[in-house]
Structure 1
Amino acid sequence: MDTAEFKQRMMPYARQMYTVAFSILKESSDAEDAVQDVFLRMWEKRSGVGSIANLKAYLLSAVRNRSFDMIEKRRSGGDDGAIELSDEGKDAGQMERKDAVSKIIGLISALPEPQRTVISMHDIEGMEYDEISRLTGMNEGALRTALSRARRRIREIFKG
């Protein structure tokens, strides 16, 4: 696959990939980095791109997972452009909510597939079941089950 063909196949999904990454990372530059990382990985493995049945679903899942990896790396003290949470001007409630959100994102990134994919697409990206089904190939019943299990697991860990 040459550069022109690669661009022709990948670029139609760049905006959606950025939207997914930004919804998770909340920083434009970080979202751009996540998309770029996925494109770089795809370029390195371009010989296998033709065998991917649903390229859009694959790319959106890859950028979502890369975004969660970036967050997890920051949480674990990685030097990957760490997010700095400022306490200045924040009341205790806001800081607690920010801590809770960070913990939940970490929990989501630790979920097994397909739970991580389904909860990310539905609860973070706001996708409807029919769209998730189309992208993942799962039927609606399986999606609902995976989402329910993911939510229950997060509640158990978060409260326990």
Structure 2
Amino acid sequence: MVELAVDEFIINWHLSNVDEERQIVESIVRSIKKKCHKLVFDRAYLGKFAEKLSLIEEARKRDTYVLWVLVKRLRALIHDSSKVRICEGRHVIELELIEDQFDRLVAKSALCAEGKEKLLVTTDSDLIGKAKALEKYGVKVLTPHQAEGLLLTS
């Protein structure tokens, strides 16, 4: 089993016009649903993530694809206790170096992942740049492409 924290790319890539990005996100979500993998959310980050889904739902009311496929699927996933673990991420000094609140919360989520591999999946250059600092706490920062490959083989 792999526990991973994902930033909001999982929402943004679902809305992308680039087929490859949508396919990677769908592959990651499918792997989480079908295998023993779990998403891990710091309690505060889960609230922000759900809030972002609600904002998209409100803004795109007329787009039934977005509502039924994206928002409903992700909302169902984040409320599935067999696929999501909510925790209180620990605070480490390196978190203060991350300026964006969303990024800080997703890093905090990754810190509370259990198991030998604590994965943080992101497209954010700031978080990717902090990979070395987070590595000393056992957090491995991956791009969505890398995460897809890992989840499909584990």
Which bin holds the TM-score, normalised by the shorter protein? 0.3 to 0.5
Higher relative contact order (CA closer than 8 Å, sequence separation 6+): 2
* Larger gyration radius, structure 1 or structure 2: 1
The structure with the largest strand share of the pair is 2
The structure with the largest helix share of the pair is 1
TM-score, length basis structure 2: 0.32
TM-score, length basis structure 1: 0.31
